[in-house]
Amino acid sequence: MTQPPAVLRAATERDVPAILALIQALAEYERMRDDCVATETRLRETLFGAAPKAEVMLAETAEGAVAGFALFCSNYSTFLAQPGIWLEDLFVRPEHRGHGIGKQLLAHLARLAVERDCGRVEWAVLDWNTPSIGFYESLGARGLSEWTTFRLTGNAMHALAGTAS
């Protein structure tokens, strides 16, 4: 039997510095570094506090280097009347790409979805990121061109909530 490309494990609070480093590397790759304001304190609170908002799987090489991660949370499909998994971020460091780590992380999420009786695993990808799009399509995923993603943040979100200062 062949050895898997990486060892996957659930992140713990002690992994927060590594998670932040991966998020920052992802922000660089996505050309969005200025938008990345995550801190260790916020990650510790939102991932490992009293009410965790998401989960993180880390991929480590045989040498113990953190090669990548998947950060995900639950969502819900009213049409399926089932929960789902929303993959917020999947990132493999460039030096570890091409060895199956991304596929290993996605396969793990697919297994979790089956175990948790989820109807689907969903994520978004930047339209210019053709290497990732090709990779996802090679796994059987399909792009949903009939949907447009909307985002409400910052001042607009506070204005709508009635909490603008």
pLDDT digits (tens, 9 = 90+) for 113-130: 999 999 999 999 999 999
- What is the rounded average pLDDT for all residues in the chain? 95
pLDDT for 42-61, tens place per residue?
999 999 999 999 999 999 99
Q: Which residues are annotated as catalytic?
A: 136
Stated pTM of the model: 0.93
Question: Tell me, what's the pLDDT at 44?
Answer: 98
> Interior CA angle at 138 toward 136 and 144, to 5°?
50
Residues near 152 by beta carbon (within 8 Å), at least 6 away in sequence? 160
Q: What are phi and psi of 38, to 5 degrees?
A: -60, 145
Cβ-Cβ contacts under 8 Å for 3 (sequence gap 6 or more): 62
pLDDT in tens, 63-111: 999 999 999 999 999 999 999 999 999 999 999 999 999 999 999 999 9
Judged against a pLDDT cut of 80, whether residue 1 lies above it is answered with no
Phi, psi of 63 (to 5 degrees): -85, -5
Q: Give the domains, in start order, of the chain with CATH numbers.
A: 7-123 (3.40.630.30)
C-beta separation of 70 from 88 below 8 A: no
